[in-house]
Amino acid sequence: MIIPHDTYGPEYLLEVYDAETNMRGFLVIDNTALGPGKGGIRMTPNITLEEVFMLARTMTWKNALADLPFGGAKAGIVFDPSKSKKEEKKALVQAFSKALKPFVPKKYIAGPDMNSGEEEMQWFAEANGNWRSATGKPANLCMLVMGKKGSKQQCGIPHEFGSTGFGVAHATQVAAKHAGISLAGARVAVEGFGNVGEFTCKYLTEMGVLLVATSDMQGAVYNENGLDFKKLLAFKKQGTVTLYEDAKKLSHEEIFELPVDILIPAAIPNVITEKNYKNVQAKLIIEAANVPISDDIEGKLAKRGILVVPDIIVNAGGVISSYAEYRGYNPKDMFSMVKSKIVKNTKAILESAKREGISPRASAMKIAEERVEQAMKTRK
């Protein structure tokens, strides 16, 4: 694949290597008109510069939609979790951080992504030597910031606090109202009971929905009368939600075809496709995962009268949390900011889409492009 260049970027395409650790990594800084590029570090055995670019471009739009002073970027390290020990992983992360010092944190700020979490962000920040080089650090990793009014404690805010799922729940609440669906008692299926899906289930059940199905790598569970969140959590700690006793066991694919009001893909990409989109019974789809549905299939679902709220607005809770940490806020202020921005931006996109007769994704992209283009003009 030849990486495309357009008026937005990319500004930097970097491939770095460290002979001592055999670290091979990539960084794409797509656009910094709104601020330093912000995006996580993905660690997989098959990561490529092309994949990192596509993710960086998505971050350009996501940060613009979240109305944050961040540009778009993404990083990747070639890493096989099945063949590496913790010490080896730490060495790779630290070598990567040191290699990126000329760009971090002025042009790029790291964050968690696939196979990287709060511990990896601590390693990255320590190797870089700058507190602001990464967000998503452990909550007990703190520093004192000296100001005019004395010292202030500033601590990490890990994504493990559930900021993304919290944002997904509030986006769902807004979208349900827009679609004329009463959230109280609404039948909901959440694909994926990982960090995003787990907290999505938690906050939505607290809002009164009837969670009827969820899944993990071992399969899905379904009970038309509802699943108990605390029991799901307990079974997940034992290994898998499929241990849930009072539920029907389904294949992972069957969760997308259940008779529900709201369907929330919250795990892997490309799960609703040409093969199964005609069998979707939900009235509303909330894209908590990245790219769970292609643009083409989103259009076909819309023709069936199904409202699809796009990932670039729904799952922005993580990057909003990153900004809160970057500014030195506490977790309470972070959650308040996530709710405020997610609610405001979801409303704006859905209302604009309805008013202009376009899809929510088209509405989101229009707003994001306008914000980036305006920033580019101002920068010049």
The pLDDT tens digits of the residues spanning 38-96 come to 999 999 999 999 999 999 999 999 999 999 999 999 999 999 988 889 999 999 999 99
SS3 state at 179: coil
Average pLDDT for the chain? 95
pLDDT at 362 exceeding the cut of 80: yes
Residue 219's identity, in one-letter code, is G
248-250 β-sheet, strand order: 248-250, 219-222, 210-216, 187-191, 262-265, 284-286, 307-309
pLDDT reading at 114 higher than 70: yes
Q: Full-prediction pTM beyond 0.95?
A: no
Rounded-to-integer distance, Cα 36 and Cα 33, Å = 8
Instruction: Give residue 151's pLDDT.
Output: 60
- Judged by DSSP in three states, 135 sits in coil
pLDDT of residue 379: 78
Domain range 12-63+70-156, its CATH number among 2.30.30.830, 1.10.150.120, 3.40.50.10860, 3.40.1000.10? 3.40.50.10860
pLDDT band at 10 (very low <50, low <70, confident <90, very high): very high
Q: Which two tokens stand for residue 157?
A: 């805010």
**Which residues belong to CATH 3.40.50.720 in the chain?**
163-316+348-364
Residue 149: is its pLDDT beyond 70? Answer: no
Share above pLDDT 90 across residues of the chain, in percent, rounded to a whole number = 92
pLDDT band at 380 (very low <50, low <70, confident <90, very high): low
More confident residue, 151 or 365: 365
Q: How far is CA 269 from CA 6, 62, 192, 274, 362, in A?
A: 25, 17, 11, 14, 19
CA nearest neighbour of 75 among 58, 55, 94: 55
Whether the CB-CB separation of 219 and 253 falls below 8 Å is answered with: no
User: Of the residues 38, 74, 202, 236, which is catalytic?
Assistant: 74
Model pLDDT, residue 150: 58
Regarding predicted confidence, which is higher, 143 or 346?
A: 346
| CA triple 13-14-17, angle to 5 deg | 160
In angstroms, the CA 261 to CA 171 distance is 15
Q: Residues 186-214: what's their mean pLDDT?
A: 97
Which residue type does 352 have?
Answer: S
Q: Work out the percent of the chain whose per-residue pLDDT is above 70.
A: 98
Residue 137 a catalytic site member: no
Query: Tell me, what's the pLDDT at 30?
Result: 98
- Which pLDDT score is estimated for 147? 59
Q: Start-end ranges of CATH 3.40.50.10860 in the chain?
A: 12-63+70-156
212, pLDDT greater than 60:
yes
163-316+348-364 architecture in CATH?
Answer: 3-Layer(aba) Sandwich (3.40)
Q: Is the pLDDT of residue 183 over 70?
A: yes
Largest CA-CA distance found in the chain, in angstroms, rounded: 61
